[in-house]
Amino acid sequence: MARPRRIVLIRHGESEGNVDESIYERVPDHALTLTARGREQARAAGAELRTMFGMERIQVYVSPYTRTRQTLELLGLEPARVRVMEEPRLREQDWGNLQDLEDIRRQKKLRDAYGHFYYRFARGESGADVYDRVGAFFETLHRNFLRPDYPPNVLLVCHGLMMRLFCMRWFHWSVDEFEALSNPDNGETRTLLLGPDGRYTLDRPFDRWT
């Protein structure tokens, strides 16, 4: 199995929904675009990633949402060294169609009290549902690792909650540990590094709730 040396997760740059919750009443979540600040965050992250990857090949898995695809484009990775697969299982937690702003705020408060892993948005998903999607994606990922020409770097362009749940599943964190962690900021990365013992370690921890 040609396991990659690095598995890098990046959260998309700042989107319209990050600065204006009311947009969820008018625009589908999957169609939200990056703000000007979000585009700059993506470009800055791209400069760091290009330095990290150097001339090595990269396998990219990208959420199909507009803001993640825009983020990937703005990273500026060399196309000749990149293989891209759109991966719907990396999408954001589903909230269920267009939303009512006051209902969004009410449900977010309920989620904070109930728990981000178990709380299910009305007509949408719970964190546990997304966790199951991550597990299904792992099956594909590990099958791909079997390819003799698999690249030494994996890049997942996805969402904040997805990044936490990916690491929870990979490192077998408990639900309580997951609940104590915060999403990374827009444009932030976390990297799983393969050690000489064949195990992966996280380059830096997630921030914790205060």
- Digits of tens for pLDDT over the chain (210 positions)? 578 999 999 999 999 999 999 999 999 999 999 999 999 999 999 999 999 999 999 999 999 999 999 999 999 999 999 999 999 999 999 988 888 889 888 998 999 999 999 999 888 999 999 999 999 999 999 999 999 999 999 999 999 999 999 999 999 999 999 999 999 999 999 999 999 999 999 999 999 986
12 is an active site residue: yes
Q: Per DSSP, what are the bridge partners of residue 126?
A: 120
Computed from CA positions of residues 197, 159, 113, 124, in that sequence, does the dihedral angle turn out positive or negative? negative
92 is an active site residue: yes
pLDDT score for 210: 64
pTM for the model stands at 0.95
Computed from CA positions of residues 140, 34, 115, 119, in that sequence, does the dihedral angle turn out positive or negative? negative
Q: What is the distance of C-alpha 88 from the center of its chain?
A: 12
- Among the listed residues 12, 87, 125, 159, the single catalytic one is 12
Task: Give the start-to-end residue ranges of the domains of the chain.
Answer: 6-55+64-152+179-189
pLDDT score for 136: 97
Q: Report the alpha-carbon angle 109-99-179, nearest 5.
A: 35
Helices 66-75 and 36-53, interaxial angle, to 10°? Answer: 50
Instruction: Give CATH for domain 6-55+64-152+179-189.
Output: 3.40.50.1240
Q: Give every CB contact of residue 56 below 8 A, 6+ residues apart in sequence.
A: 81, 151, 152, 153
- Among the listed residues 14, 16, 87, 92, the single catalytic one is 92
